[in-house]
Amino acid sequence: MDSKSIRTKHKQYMLPAVANYYEEPVVLHEGKGSRITDLDGKSYLDFFGGILTVSVGHSNDRVNAAVSAQLKRLSHVSTLYPTVPMVELAEKLVAVAPGQLKKAFFTASGTEADETAVMLAQVATGNQELVALRHGYSGRSLLAQSLTAHSNYRAVPTQVAAVKHALSPYCYRCPLKLDPKSCGTACAKDLEELIRTTTTGRIAGMLAEPIQGVGGFITPPREYFEIASAIIRKYGGVMIIDEVQTGFGRTGKMWGAQQYGVDPDIMTMAKGIANGLPLAATLCTPVIADAFKSSTISTFGGNPLSCAAAGAVLEEIEENDLVENAAKRGEELREGLVRLQRKHPKMIGDVRGMGLMQALELVVDETTQDRTPNPRATLQLFEETKKRGLLIGKGGLYGNTIRIAPPLNITASEIQEGLKAIEESFAAMGAP
């Protein structure tokens, strides 16, 4: 079977909404480390890591061995029974978690983790209304769709009236039309008026990503979360930090929240937690955990196979200093992207991100301050990098942001290889 036949069957049997990258989608077949090969034998350097999910590289030996050994022992029992992999993983997670996060609950996806977090916040505070951020993405469920503030990913209108959306700390496109250098982080301070004018004045909390992933790697100012958390707690709420994309060393620290010096009351995670196996976790403080009195279950949460994989991921990160590697390789990646911006100042409007979570926002003409989104250039760059054996991601409300997030164990030479491919691609586009 070749790539062409798979593309044909995909179109025939999958929902049309299941879109693919590229004019002619790449049918990926095998991977090792930062390399992945399609069904026709062409090799690619992976600069997107399965949407920030393949955290320690494709087919990681340690992860594979852990899953294989667990599969021979026990594959599934649900949360009705304690298992060694689940309990050991919970212990490891709370050991590296920030603040007082000492209790864990496992589910199968980031959507479920966010659902759990909101429920915990509402039960613990006795309040119902919740603040989320514009440009944020929380998943596919009814609540998650209401939390998501990105029209491209909202199939149905808002169903949960308790969700209120605050201004995004999107400095490049400041929603308040202010200068980020002198605005005093006005978008964070606006949370107080939002709460006082659109809620009962008592809220369950705020759910926010340290860096907005689907939103296009929107990176808040360093002081944003300190201001925001103080306001949220003033009005009875708790801080829910969504680490689905930023967690496990991605930003150059173990958790994105640590980049902002804020301790969450509840924290969610998924994607990179198990290197591609389905798993998510919601961590919270003991006080919040104890407030939840109802019985609950997650059929696939804490699955022994996924938990074994996640345990191996944490070991791999720690023993190989992958958080530090993400920071160092991230600096090299950022430096290369800034050089590209200087070379193509018209098209590359913004470079942003932290660690191995970097983005380029493409516009019509930054040199004249014409920041009209340029999704056409984004698609062109995709096709050119594909020709040169490089896989990248995209995002943002306008579809004009390039998202770069390779595995945490990517090497310095692979960073330079990827940057060279991007540079050659811009040149092939005739980018000014």
Query: 7-30, pLDDT tens digit by residue?
Result: 999 999 999 999 899 999 999 999
- Look over the chain and give the mean of its residue pLDDT values, rounded to a whole number: 97
Query: 133-142, pLDDT tens digit by residue?
Result: 999 999 999 9
What is the pLDDT at residue 19? 87
Residue 114 near residue 242 (C-beta atoms within 8 A)? yes
Residue 147 near residue 138 (C-beta atoms within 8 A)? yes
- Of the chain, the percentage scoring pLDDT greater than 90 comes to 96
Instruction: Band the pLDDT of 1: cuts 50, 70, 90.
Output: confident
Query: 329-342, pLDDT tens digit by residue?
Result: 999 999 999 999 99
The answer, yes or no, to whether residue 431 has pLDDT greater than 80, is no
What is the pLDDT at residue 246? 98
Query: 217-273, pLDDT tens digit by residue?
Result: 999 999 999 999 999 999 999 999 999 999 999 999 999 999 999 999 999 999 999
Q: Which residues of 228-257 are buried (b: 16+ CB within 10 A; e: fewer)?
A: bbebbeebbbbbbbbbbbbbbbbbbbbbbb
The three-state secondary structure class of 406 is: coil
Taking the C-alpha atoms of residue 47 and residue 277, their distance in angstroms, rounded to an integer, is: 19
Query: 186-228, pLDDT tens digit by residue?
Result: 999 999 999 999 999 999 999 999 999 999 999 999 999 999 9
What is the pLDDT at residue 331? 98
What is the pLDDT at residue 34? 98
- Of the chain, the percentage scoring pLDDT greater than 70 comes to 100
The answer, yes or no, to whether residue 319 has pLDDT greater than 90, is yes
What is the pLDDT at residue 324? 98
Taking the C-alpha atoms of residue 220 and residue 187, their distance in angstroms, rounded to an integer, is: 10
Q: Record the tokens describing residue 48, joined without a space.
A: 């997107």
Instruction: Give start and end residues of each alpha helix (H) in 270-356.
Output: 286-291, 304-319, 322-343
Residue 215 near residue 136 (C-beta atoms within 8 A)? yes
Query: 68-98, pLDDT tens digit by residue?
Result: 999 999 999 988 999 999 999 999 999 999 9
Q: Which DSSP helix (H) or strand (E) runs through 269? A: strand 266-269
Query: 323-376, pLDDT tens digit by residue?
Result: 999 999 999 999 999 999 999 999 999 999 999 999 999 999 999 999 999 999
Residues 6+ apart with CB under 8 A from 418: 45, 47, 333, 390, 404, 406
What is the pLDDT at residue 78? 87
**Of 19 and 118, the one with more pLDDT:** 118
What is the pLDDT at residue 432? 77
What is the pLDDT at residue 299? 94
What is the pLDDT at residue 182? 96
Taking the C-alpha atoms of residue 248 and residue 373, their distance in angstroms, rounded to an integer, is: 31
